């Protein structure tokens, strides 16, 4: 380490030096006399006026003047935030805190504990380690706090780190490592993970592969479905995987609301997966599947599912022809309330999960997700510009959008409808020859879908493409049960309509707003979505990622972008700010002046 | 001791017992005393003759004169009466500064010493306090040596404060004084000289025998504690004067104070008044013995 160059972060602050001459003039123009009470000023009137006030008088420059001038100059210099450059050895620690780090090693401790011990040891033996910055990889790569001075603070922060239930994104982790490797200021990058780093490893990157591969058995997915409309029993499918070198008999036990309700076993070959089914699970709020035998990674031996995934969704159908809405009652899990446009009230909206406006538009922006079917032109809330057509034809649609997923538009036969002109904040998803036919947009935390055709009445299998499109739209707007694959740890989801708070599996309650992105689902378990009336809807969130469960075959991370970077470790330069040192000097000078002046006054008084 | 100031040691009181107040003129008293009065009386001091009238005491017929003139004359003698002693103390705020000089404390000790001398001689004493904070003694004569304790208790409870313009203040006091007598005025006289001389002139006009006692502080006279750029504030008027004080200015200031004191002294001598200056850095006991004559005291 050595001194190299001084610099200023805020050189513009040096302009304040311009006030120094003004202060000197003010100092000279008005010296601050000490005040003393005397018996009479009679004899003082005859004395000369103060020398500093006399015309042409000798200016007085006591030592305090120069001291205060120095303090002022130092203050201006401190405002300019000076620094000097020195060679340093800052370290970045990238610690993998993903779910796989919970796995136990043959030694009996977790991979996370091993990683923490290894990083602590590496920091302790890094000569000249300056600032340490800690990064975690799950659920997304992110820094923890800022740069920590000294290895002690960094080790304390690292020791507090725990592995979460969510996997990480290997590509994002590789991008982070590449970015850090490209940063010339860093002297060393320590990466501790269960994944190796693909060769060639950049010279400044120190990979630490933690934990030998261990045998693991996992539950991959736990899906519930209602096989028959109106049936109370649910059908469960559970995926089991064997990531051990030998064939293994896996036994899974399902409990509903804490009571055992089913058990099954399967013989699974090494490296293979299979599915066990429970066709008649009695209704329960929360289902829990537990896999035997136990292994070194318990997180994927448990999975949760909820019966509410197929719960009834309250739909408010507002239309001049309310009979169209009655047909929605044929969809299992929907409860429909119909109102005419003149009769619906804010209370009706508050009690619904989503609203459907047919041939009408809301009086104000609804505070819930809504489907607007063939709205009249020029309504004051959405201000749709529509062009009516006796027959509308679909010309384009995306093949991967969630609204159009599984819809065969070629079989969709539309008759009279209306085309939407360009809308200020809603985007067309399905278009026709004359404009948009299905718009989607988001406002004030809620999602809105507008169609230029009428999917109602709901005909079910009688018009399958339209029924799938209708179910896609309703499922997306309702937010419940729209995902067949369930919810995974670390993946954010949109807070459904009417939800005010979410209780995490740990019991902590988080206040949320409908429509917002909820990204705190990093723990496996059951989350309780609490509505306005205090009714809680459980939602199961599982790891359910067999690539994470495959502990033996974790692909290495490739820092390809960083390999081409020249080795800049020797040139790593850090800025050492001087403002704090200047402030200390200023304070010491002021204190010294105060002490000296006080003692002088005491001496004068004592005379 | 009995609430008297610390200066009143037994030795000092014994010295005071040997002193008495001497006046430059005769004043009528209110009772028998030791001072010659302009009234005719029965003292041994001859005053005058007058023709004998029927009923006069034969013992006062001057038989020698009768032998020379063949006429009967009665010898008249002066009366000896007590002396009415007025002591005025300046208790304005200026007497409290500088605090280390204890100017007001010395003024009170001086007043009590003079009062003790008068009371010990059988004279009557009235002490008046100009300005100040506290309850001054009532405007009445006290008689008897023992009353010094009451006076001491009253005066030591007073603190300097307020502003005094000597001439108007003394003019108000003159209204209450019905009879002429001996006047002691104790002050720092730190005021415009004409204000002090007009006040003192009021007493001479009223045929009083006046002694002016000027008390200045030792530190005050030397300008101690004042150096560099100083804004001095008048303790009474609040007037502020900014000065730069060095040794030269300090000498100049001292000369000005002494010149003001000389002006008071000159006025007193020209008008037949006693005057003495005491600076508090000198011993009080020595001052009282040394300045006894200037104070109008005799052994």
Q: Is A259 on the interface with B (CB under 8 A)?
A: no
pLDDT by residue (tens digit) across A456-467? 888 877 788 888
Query: At which of A422, A454, A478 does a domain end?
Result: A478
The answer to whether the beta carbons of residues B218 and B205 sit under 8 Å apart is no
pLDDT at A229 > cutoff 50: no
User: Are residues A290 and A322 both part of a single domain?
Assistant: no
Q: Is B94 on the interface with A (CB under 8 A)?
A: yes
Mean pLDDT of chain A: 82
Instruction: Residues B10-28+82-298: name the CATH superfamily.
Output: von Willebrand factor, type A domain (3.40.50.410)
Cα–Cα distance for residue pair A482/A474, rounded to 1 Å? 9
User: Are residues A394 and A352 both part of a single domain?
Assistant: yes
pLDDT at A480 > cutoff 50: no
pLDDT for the residue A591: 93
Q: Is residue A530 part of a domain?
A: no
pLDDT by residue (tens digit) across A200-221? 888 888 999 988 767 889 998 8
Are β-strands A369-373 and A394-396 bridged in parallel, bridged antiparallel, or unpaired?
unpaired
User: Are residues A208 and A229 both part of a single domain?
Assistant: no
Chain B residue with minimum CA distance to A36: B232
User: Are residues A338 and A429 both part of a single domain?
Assistant: yes
pLDDT for the residue A568: 45
pLDDT at A374 > cutoff 90: yes
Share of chain A above pLDDT 90, in %: 27
pLDDT at A191 > cutoff 90: yes
Residue B233 has its nearest CB partner, among A35, A46, A53, at A35
Are β-strands B182-187 and B209-216 bridged in parallel, bridged antiparallel, or unpaired?
parallel
Q: Is A125 on the interface with B (CB under 8 A)?
A: no
Share of chain A above pLDDT 70, in %: 86
Range of lowest pLDDT (A146-150, A350-354, B118-122): A146-150
The radius of gyration of chain A from alpha carbons, rounded to an integer in Å, stands at 36
User: Are residues A345 and A453 both part of a single domain?
Assistant: yes
pLDDT by residue (tens digit) across B167-191? 899 988 888 787 889 999 999 999 8
In b/e form, how buried is each residue of A137-173, taking b as 16+ CB within 10 angstroms?
Answer: bbbebeebeebbeebeebbebbeebebbbbbbbbeeb
Helix ranges restricted to H, chain B: 10-17, 63-69, 103-120, 148-156, 166-176, 193-205, 218-222, 247-270, 284-290, 292-295
Range of lowest pLDDT (A11-25, A243-257, B124-138, B174-188): A11-25
Whether A41 sits inside 8 A of B229 (CB atoms) is no
Grade residue B116 by pLDDT with cuts at 50, 70 and 90.
Answer: very high
Whether B230 sits inside 8 A of A39 (CB atoms) is no
Burial class (CB in 10 A: 0-12, 13-18, 19+), A375: buried
pLDDT for the residue B59: 80
A contact test, residue of B90, B228, B237, B252 with most A CBs within 10 A: B228
Residue range A157-178: mean pLDDT, rounded = 89
Residues of A with CB below 8 A from B242's CB?
Answer: 33, 49-50, 53
pLDDT for the residue A556: 87
Share of chain B above pLDDT 90, in %: 32
Grade residue B95 by pLDDT with cuts at 50, 70 and 90.
Answer: very high
The answer to whether the beta carbons of residues A451 and A441 sit under 8 Å apart is no
Whether A37 sits inside 8 A of B243 (CB atoms) is no
pLDDT at A94 > cutoff 90: yes
Instruction: Give the orientation angle of helix B166-176 with respect to helix B193-205, to 10 degrees.
Output: 20
Q: Is A32 on the interface with B (CB under 8 A)?
A: yes
User: Are residues A472 and A378 both part of a single domain?
Assistant: yes
Q: Is A47 on the interface with B (CB under 8 A)?
A: yes
User: Are residues A295 and A318 both part of a single domain?
Assistant: no
Chain B residue with minimum CA distance to A601: B225
Grade residue A226 by pLDDT with cuts at 50, 70 and 90.
Answer: low
User: Are residues A173 and A227 both part of a single domain?
Assistant: no
SS3 A120: helix
Whose CA is closest to A97, among A42, A24, A163? A163
Whether the CA torsion A469, A471, A472, A477 is positive or negative: it is positive
pLDDT for the residue A3: 46
B contact test, residue of A47, A59, A601 with most B CBs within 10 A: A47
Backbone dihedral angles phi then psi of residue B114, each to the nearest 5 degrees: -65, -40
pLDDT for the residue A230: 43
Residues of B with CB below 8 A from A51's CB?
Answer: 244
Which single residue is written with the structure tokens 């005719």? B40
Whether A39 sits inside 8 A of B235 (CB atoms) is yes
> Where is B39: in which H helix or E strand?
strand B32-51
Q: Is residue A483 part of a domain?
A: no
Cα–Cα distance for residue pair B28/B157, rounded to 1 Å? 33
Greatest alpha-carbon span in chain A? 118
User: Are residues A368 and A461 both part of a single domain?
Assistant: yes
Q: HEC profile for B75-125?
A: EEEEEEECCEEEEEEECCHHHHCCHHHCHHHHHHHHHHHHHHHHHHCCCEE
Q: Is A43 on the interface with B (CB under 8 A)?
A: yes
pLDDT for the residue A67: 87
Residue range A278-282: mean pLDDT, rounded = 88
pLDDT for the residue A482: 36
Whose CA is closest to A316, among A286, A284, A289, A351? A351
- Calculate the CA A19 to chain-centre distance: 47
pLDDT at A449 > cutoff 80: yes
DSSP conformation class of A204:
T
User: Are residues A126 and A35 both part of a single domain?
Assistant: no
Q: Is B131 on the interface with A (CB under 8 A)?
A: no
Residue A36 has its nearest CB partner, among B230, B256, B260, at B230
Say which residues have a Cβ less than 8 Å from residue A248's Cβ, sequence separation at least 6: A217, A242, A267, A268, A270, A293
Grade residue A250 by pLDDT with cuts at 50, 70 and 90.
Answer: very high
Cα–Cα distance for residue pair A3/A548, rounded to 1 Å? 48
Cα–Cα distance for residue pair A469/A200, rounded to 1 Å? 50
Whether B234 sits inside 8 A of A48 (CB atoms) is no
pLDDT by residue (tens digit) across B146-173? 999 999 999 989 999 999 888 899 988 8
* Residue A585 distance to chain B (closest CA, Å): 29
Decide which of B38 and A104 is more confident. Answer: A104
pLDDT for the residue B34: 76
The answer to whether the beta carbons of residues B27 and B20 sit under 8 Å apart is no
Q: How many CB atoms lie under 10 A from the CB of residue B165?
A: 17
pLDDT at B29 > cutoff 80: no
The answer to whether the beta carbons of residues A407 and A433 sit under 8 Å apart is no
Backbone dihedral angles phi then psi of residue B13, each to the nearest 5 degrees: -65, -40
Residue ranges of B 224-243 with Cβ closer than 8 A to chain A: 224-237, 239-243
Range of lowest pLDDT (A538-547, A572-581, B91-100): A572-581
Grade residue B118 by pLDDT with cuts at 50, 70 and 90.
Answer: very high
* Residue B107 distance to chain A (closest CA, Å): 15
Grade residue B57 by pLDDT with cuts at 50, 70 and 90.
Answer: confident
Q: Is A63 on the interface with B (CB under 8 A)?
A: no
Residues of A with CB below 8 A from B226's CB?
Answer: 36, 38, 604
Q: In total, how many domains does chain A have? A: 4
Q: CATH number, domain at A373?
A: 3.40.50.880
* Residue B249 distance to chain A (closest CA, Å): 7
The dihedral formed by the CA atoms of A511, A513, A515 and A518, expressed in degrees to the nearest 10 = -10
Strands (E), A168-309: 188-193, 205-209, 216-225, 234-243, 248-256, 259-268, 273-281, 286-292, 302-306
pLDDT for the residue A235: 81
Residue range B66-74: mean pLDDT, rounded = 87
Q: Is A391 on the interface with B (CB under 8 A)?
A: no
Cis before A225 (ω within 30): no
Q: Is residue A505 part of a domain?
A: no
Q: HEC profile for A158-194?
A: HHCCCCCCCCCCHHHHHHHHHHHHHCCCCCEEEEEEC
User: Are residues A44 and A113 both part of a single domain?
Assistant: no
pLDDT by residue (tens digit) across B199-247? 999 888 888 899 999 999 998 988 888 887 788 899 988 888 888 888 8
* Residue B171 distance to chain A (closest CA, Å): 23
Whether A40 sits inside 8 A of B245 (CB atoms) is no
Q: Is A42 on the interface with B (CB under 8 A)?
A: yes
User: Are residues A322 and A470 both part of a single domain?
Assistant: yes
pLDDT at A589 > cutoff 70: yes
Say which residues have a Cβ less than 8 Å from residue A406's Cβ, sequence separation at least 6: A468, A472
Boundaries of every domain in chain B: 10-28+82-298, 33-81
pLDDT at B93 > cutoff 70: yes
pLDDT at A37 > cutoff 50: yes
Query: At which of A478, A502, A524 does a domain end?
Result: A478
Whether the CA torsion A578, A584, A587, A588 is positive or negative: it is negative
Q: Is residue A74 part of a domain?
A: yes
User: Which residue range forms the structural domain that includes residue A145?
Assistant: 89-213+553-571
pLDDT by residue (tens digit) across A120-133? 888 887 765 568 88
pLDDT for the residue A438: 94
Grade residue B85 by pLDDT with cuts at 50, 70 and 90.
Answer: very high
Grade residue B192 by pLDDT with cuts at 50, 70 and 90.
Answer: confident
Residue range A308-316: mean pLDDT, rounded = 68
Structure tokens at B178: 């019905």
Whether B242 sits inside 8 A of A605 (CB atoms) is no
A vs B: CB pairs below 8 A: 102
Query: At which of A456, A478, A500 does a domain end?
Result: A478
Whether A40 sits inside 8 A of B190 (CB atoms) is yes
Greatest alpha-carbon span in chain B? 87
SS3 B183: strand
pLDDT by residue (tens digit) across A510-565? 998 877 888 889 999 999 988 877 888 888 899 877 888 888 788 888 886 444 44
The radius of gyration of chain B from alpha carbons, rounded to an integer in Å, stands at 23
The answer to whether the beta carbons of residues B124 and B141 sit under 8 Å apart is yes
Residues of A with CB below 8 A from B93's CB?
Answer: 39
Chain B residue with minimum CA distance to A32: B229
Cα–Cα distance for residue pair A119/B244, rounded to 1 Å? 70
Q: How far apart are the first and last CA of chain A?
A: 56
Grade residue A573 by pLDDT with cuts at 50, 70 and 90.
Answer: low
pLDDT at A579 > cutoff 90: no
Q: CATH number, domain at A288?
A: 2.60.40.10
pLDDT for the residue A552: 78
Structure tokens at B1: 């001791």
Q: Is A33 on the interface with B (CB under 8 A)?
A: yes
Q: Is residue A474 part of a domain?
A: yes
Chain A residue with minimum CA distance to B249: A47
DSSP conformation class of A308:
G
Say which residues have a Cβ less than 8 Å from residue A499's Cβ, sequence separation at least 6: A512, A514, A529, A530, A531, A537
């Amino acid at each position: 380490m050595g001194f190299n160059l001084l610099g200023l972060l805020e050189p513009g602050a040096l302009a304040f030096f311009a006030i120094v001459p003004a202060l000197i003039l003010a100092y000279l123009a008005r010296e601050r006399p000490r005040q003393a009470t005397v018996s009479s000023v009679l004899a003082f009137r005859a004395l000369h006026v103060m020398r500093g006030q006399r015309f042409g008088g000798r200016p007085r420059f006591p030592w305090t003047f120069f001291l205060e001038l120095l303090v002022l100059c130092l203050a201006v210099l401190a405002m300019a935030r000076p620094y000097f450059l020195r060679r340093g050895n800052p370290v970045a620690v990238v610690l993998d805190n993903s779910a796989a780090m919970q796995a136990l090693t043959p030694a009996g401790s977790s991979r996370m504990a091993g990683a923490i011990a290894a990083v602590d040891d590496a920091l302790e033996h890094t000569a000249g380690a300056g600032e340490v910055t800690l990064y975690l990889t799950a659920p997304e790569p992110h820094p923890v706090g800022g740069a920590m001075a000294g290895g002690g603070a960094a080790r304390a922060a690292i020791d507090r780190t725990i592995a979460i239930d969510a996997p990480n994104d290997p590509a994002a982790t590789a991008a982070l490592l590449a970015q850090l490797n490209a940063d010339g200021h860093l002297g060393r990058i320590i990466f501790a993970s269960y994944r190796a780093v693909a060769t060639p490893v950049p010279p400044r990157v120190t990979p630490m592969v933690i934990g030998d591969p261990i045998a693991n058995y996992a539950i991959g997915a736990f899906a519930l479905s209602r096989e028959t409309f109106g049936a109370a029993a649910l059908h469960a499918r559970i995926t089991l995987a064997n990531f051990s070198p030998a064939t293994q008999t896996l036994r899974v036990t399902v409990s509903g609301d804490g009571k055992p309700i089913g058990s099954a076993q399967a013989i699974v070959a090494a490296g293979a997966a299979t599915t066990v089914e429970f066709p008649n699970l009695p209704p329960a709020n929360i289902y829990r599947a537990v896999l035997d035998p136990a292994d070194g990674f318990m997180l994927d031996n448990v999975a949760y599912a909820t019966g509410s995934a197929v719960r009834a969704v309250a739909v408010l159908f507002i239309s001049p022809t309310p009979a169209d809405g009655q047909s929605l009652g044929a969809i299992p899990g929907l409860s429909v309330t119909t109102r005419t446009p003149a009769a619906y009230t804010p209370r009706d909206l508050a009690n619904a999960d989503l609203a459907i406006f047919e041939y009408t538009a809301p009086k104000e922006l609804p505070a819930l997700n809504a489907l607007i079917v063939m709205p009249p032109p020029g309504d004051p809330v959405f201000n749709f510009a529509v062009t009516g057509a006796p027959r509308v034809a679909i010309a384009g649609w995306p093949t991967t959008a969630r609204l159009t997923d599984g819809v065969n538009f070629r079989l969709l036969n539309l008759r009279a409808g209306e085309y939407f002109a360009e809308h200020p904040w809603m985007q067309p998803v399905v278009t026709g020859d004359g404009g948009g036919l299905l718009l989607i947009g988001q406002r004030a935390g809620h999602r809105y879908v507008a169609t230029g055709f009428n999917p109602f009445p709901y005909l079910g299998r009688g018009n399958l493409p339209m029924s799938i499109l209708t179910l896609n739209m309703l499922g997306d707007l309702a937010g419940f049960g729209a995902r067949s694959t369930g919810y995974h740890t670390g993946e954010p989801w949109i807070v459904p309509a009417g939800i005010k708070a979410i209780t995490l599996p740990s019991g902590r309650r988080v206040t949320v707003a409908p429509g917002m992105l909820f990204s705190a689902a990093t723990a496996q378990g059951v989350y309780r979505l609490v509505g306005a009336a205090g009714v809680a809807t459980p939602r199961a969130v599982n790891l359910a990622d067999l690539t994470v469960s495959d502990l033996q075959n974790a692909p290495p991370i490739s820092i390809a972008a960083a390999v081409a970077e020249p080795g800049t470790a020797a040139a790593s330069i850090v800025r050492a700010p001087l403002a704090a040192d200047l402030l200390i000097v200023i304070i010491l000078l002021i204190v010294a002046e105060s002490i000296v002046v006080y003692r002088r006054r005491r001496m004068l008084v004592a005379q | 001791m009995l609430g008297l100031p610390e200066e009143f040691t037994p030795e000092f009181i014994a010295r005071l017992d040997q002193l008495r107040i001497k006046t430059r003129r005769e004043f009528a008293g209110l009772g028998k005393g030791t001072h010659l009065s302009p009234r005719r009386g029965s003292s041994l001091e001859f005053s005058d003759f007058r023709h004998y009238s029927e009923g006069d005491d034969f013992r006062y017929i001057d038989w020698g004169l009768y032998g020379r003139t063949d006429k009967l004359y009665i010898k008249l003698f002066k009366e000896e009466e007590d002396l009415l002693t007025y002591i005025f103390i300046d208790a304005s705020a200026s007497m409290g500064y500088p605090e280390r000089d204890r100017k007001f404390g010395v003024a009170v000790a001086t007043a009590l010493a003079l009062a003790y001398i008068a009371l010990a001689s059988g004279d009557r004493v009235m002490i008046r306090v100009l300005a100040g904070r506290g309850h001054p003694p009532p405007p009445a004569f006290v008689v008897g040596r023992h009353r010094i304790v009451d006076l001491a208790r009253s005066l030591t409870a007073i603190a300097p404060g307020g502003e005094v313009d000597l001439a108007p203040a003394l003019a108000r006091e003159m209204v209450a004084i019905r009879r002429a007598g001996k006047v002691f005025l104790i002050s720092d006289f730190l005021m415009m000289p004409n204000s002090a001389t007009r006040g003192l002139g009021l007493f001479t006009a009223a045929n009083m025998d006046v002694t002016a006692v000027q008390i200045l502080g030792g530190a005050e006279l030397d300008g101690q504690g004042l150096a560099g750029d100083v804004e001095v504030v008048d303790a009474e008027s609040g007037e502020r004067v900014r000065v730069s004080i060095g040794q030269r200015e300090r000498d100049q200031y001292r000369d000005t104070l002494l010149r003001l004191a000389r002006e008071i002294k000159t006025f007193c001598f020209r008008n037949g008044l006693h005057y003495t200056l005491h600076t508090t850095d000198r011993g009080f006991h020595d001052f009282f013995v040394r300045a006894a004559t200037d104070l109008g005291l005799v052994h």
